Structure 1
């Protein structure tokens, strides 16, 4: 039985010993012999019958065993772990140990690395704070040259706007509409779900337009070079005619 405090509203707060692995009595098991904090709606609940709100095991702390917000993930978990070659904060979905994001401070250069399910995705430089995404050719497959983009870029309207949840006097933004971009560059548009609004929403990879711009400049430069060669050829022909 846990030591507890009962409030006037019949809610209970309790502290108790806790184990996530009842099948073992091995003290070296990090899921054994922990400390748990509970909150109950009614005093009839006991620590042995409920999942803790906060649990602590041998350098591990779990927070939020129950939903704490509307549409929050039941049995959500924040897992903080440390390793000898750096420090890592990992956020894990309770339905699978593979649904996990991690932030890792490198002991080599002190940069901040972002991992998804154990795979490096991005990095923040310690000195400059620059965010860089994974782009190593050795980590890519199905590599193909991009087709011409200049005509598509010319079709994209650029706007200034405010967001719906901002004030009219707030700073105006400059950008594109995801629906417009989706017709020409679907690789740059993502459909996500807004749990607060309870509807789908489109997001966009604006950094990808740097690559699109480079490709468009290359195509435009080819047009300029071709026109330059034609002008030089016509100039030579004109010189020949004038000398006759």
Structure 2
């Protein structure tokens, strides 16, 4: 299992995104207000005795691999940056999954479209402000 994760780190990760595999496709719409509520945090993983570990054979292969990966990560005592799954789930429930043991996981890649749409929304706001400022003679419009 560990080799699979190492390989992904070395060569990148490609995710299936072909339109032919998707159904019920809808635009995300405006997400900036939700995104502004999301809190980035820095953290360290808890010590060995407190990291979730489960040898329950009812877990899927992915769930067990995730727990095994956590087991490897706990040895690193470095500060990380991310989100709390509970916070993400309250704003974007479609980006959080929970395994049978109750551990929550964030689909960080799924945040990319939210970020892109939010940047576009902000750019619309900036463009409107620039137009207003130009109209009032506060700036010169150099389009």
- SS state at 1:224 partner: helix
Query: Which residue of structure 1 lines up, in the alignment, with residue 77 of structure 2?
Result: 170
| Structure 1 residue ranges (4+ consecutive) displaced by more than 6 angstroms after TM superposition | none
Partner residue, 2:114: 212
When normalised by structure 1's length, the TM-score is 0.40
The structure that is helix-richer by fraction is 2
Alignment pair present for 1:155 and 2:33: no
* TM-score with structure 2 setting the length: 0.66
CA RMSD of aligned residues (A): 2.0
Deviation at 1:131, TM superposition (A): 1.3
Deviation at 1:170, TM superposition (A): 0.7
Deviation at residue 158 of structure 1 after TM alignment = 1.1
Structure 1 residues 1-80: aligned runs within 5 Å: none
Counterpart mapping for 1:53-132 below 5 A: 129-132=11-14
Contact 2:96/2:106 (8 A) holds in 1 = yes
Larger Rg: 1
Please, which of 157, 162, 179 is the counterpart of residue 86 of structure 2? 179
Q: Which residue of 1 aligns with 2:125?
A: 223
Residue number among 72, 92, 98 corresponding to 1:191 in the alignment = 98
In the alignment, structure 1 segments of 5+ residues that lack a partner are: 1-123, 194-198, 237-244
Residues matched between the structures, number: 104
| 1:133 partner SS | coil
Is there any run of 5+ residues in structure 2 with no aligned partner, and where?
A: 1-7, 49-73, 139-143
